[in-house]
């Protein structure tokens, strides 16, 4: 597996942003939509949450931009094909507990981008925000690895961003899907790195003297 030290995209460390994708109650809580209405297991969230929390803390202390990407899937926003897959139940509806962030929340100065599809770039101003901050590399965390995380990092790659997927800070109820995304990123898109290595790199390169 490629490591940060050997990855040229990390040479300008001050041009990174941390993406936190879909860390919301409906996706992550045992009382949320996926667990209660779809019958999906969300055990993976507890495993990745401490790693996401560590990266948020490191990035915040260092002044690295943190972008929280939040889903709103009200029927007024999604297309017919998406609605057919979603079913009649609403998920991550605006101004509801289900759409709120799960356990971790943005702080003052963090950026929130609302999306209405799987990709954080589709129909949003995420690309404009990142370019305004001079971001070249995306550190990607969140859920689900093979759905919204995958869609967002692919769109980011197509737009010219270097991708670092934090393999133990993303999760999915499908281990097969999770492993597939990690393999695809490592082989074709960017770098897969563990939380410990990313956190060390952030501390070494970002924290002001």
Residue 118 has pLDDT above 80, yes or no: yes
**Mean pLDDT in the chain?**
90
Active-site option among 22, 26, 114, 150:
22
The lowest-confidence range among 7-16, 62-71, 139-148 is 7-16
Active-site option among 114, 148, 155, 168:
148
* 43 carries an active-site annotation: no
* 22 carries an active-site annotation: yes
Predicted pLDDT of residue 20 = 98
What topology is assigned to 4-206 in CATH? Answer: Rossmann fold (3.40.50)
Residues of the chain with pLDDT > 90, as a percent, come to 78
pLDDT band for position 61 (cuts 50, 70, 90): confident
CA proximity to 67, closest of 9, 141, 1: 141
In whole angstroms, what is the distance from residue 163 CA to residue 36 CA?
Answer: 33
With tokens 């995420």, the residue in question is 126
Active-site option among 92, 115, 150, 168:
115
Predicted pLDDT of residue 208 = 46
Which tokens hold the place of 82? 């998406």
The residues facing 68 across adjacent strands are 20, 112
* 136 carries an active-site annotation: no
pLDDT band for position 14 (cuts 50, 70, 90): low
In whole angstroms, what is the distance from residue 205 CA to residue 203 CA?
Answer: 6
Q: What average pLDDT does range 153-161 have in this prediction?
A: 98
**pTM greater than 0.85:** yes
Residues of the chain with pLDDT > 70, as a percent, come to 89
CA R_g for the chain: 16
According to DSSP, the β-strands at 66-71 and 16-21 are: parallel
- What is the separation, in whole angstroms, between the first and last Cα of the chain? 32
Residue 36 has pLDDT above 50, yes or no: yes
């Amino acid at each position: 597996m490629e490591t940060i030290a050997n990855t040229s995209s990390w040479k300008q460390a001050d041009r990174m942003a941390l993406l936190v994708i879909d860390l919301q109650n409906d996706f992550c809580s045992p009382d949320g939509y996926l667990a209660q209405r779809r019958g999906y297991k969300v055990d993976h969230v507890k495993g990745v949450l401490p790693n996401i929390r560590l990266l948020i803390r490191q990035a915040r202390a260092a002044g690295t931009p943190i972008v929280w990407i939040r889903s709103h899937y009200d029927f007024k926003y999604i297309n017919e094909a998406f609605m057919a897959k979603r079913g009649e139940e609403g998920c991550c509806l605006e101004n509801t507990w289900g759409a709120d962030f799960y356990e971790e929340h943005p702080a003052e100065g963090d950026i929130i981008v609302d999306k209405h599809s799987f990709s954080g770039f589709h129909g949003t101003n995420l690309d404009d925000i990142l370019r305004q901050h001079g971001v070249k590399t995306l550190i990607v965390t969140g859920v689900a690895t093979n759905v919204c995380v995958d869609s967002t990092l692919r769109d980011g790659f197509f737009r010219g961003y270097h991708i670092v997927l934090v393999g133990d800070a993303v999760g999915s109820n499908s281990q097969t899907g999770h492993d597939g995304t990690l393999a695809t990123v490592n082989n074709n898109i960017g770098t897969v790195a563990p939380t410990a290595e990313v956190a060390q790199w952030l501390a070494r390169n970002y924290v002001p003297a």
